[in-house]
Amino acid sequence: MSPAASKRLSPRRLHQEPAAVTWAREKAGLTKRALAQRVGISEQLMGEIESSWRSATPANLAKIAEALNCPVVFLERKRAEPVPVPAEALE
């Protein structure tokens, strides 16, 4: 295996806003371990979700929102509006 192949990269697209997950968890007074147990995932995965190393699946994100008693939309990654491309750039 080449050194580049063994280097771990964060996902290209996250389903969650990591800072929002952390904020909501802390506001609820839960540790990563306690939240992970409520959701049914490992503490390591919970940490990776909060630190942007892993993207939460839509199902896990819904479980996280339920465990934190907050709307899932609060935890979702906000999508940026597409930037219009000038017609000249397409020619």
Tell me, what CATH number does 56's domain have? 1.10.260.40
Residues 35-48 have a mean pLDDT of 97
Is residue 85 in a domain?
Answer: no
Residue 30 lies in a domain: yes
Residue 10 belongs to a domain: no
CA distance 17 to 71: 13
Neighbours of 3 (CB within 10 A): 6
Show the domain range for 26: 18-70
Q: What is the pLDDT of residue 81?
A: 52
The answer as to whether 26 is a domain residue is yes
61 pLDDT band (50/70/90 cuts)? Answer: very high
Give Cα separations from 65 to 12, 26, 73, 75 (angstroms): 22, 13, 9, 7
Provide the domain count of the chain.
1
Domain membership of residue 12 (yes or no) is no
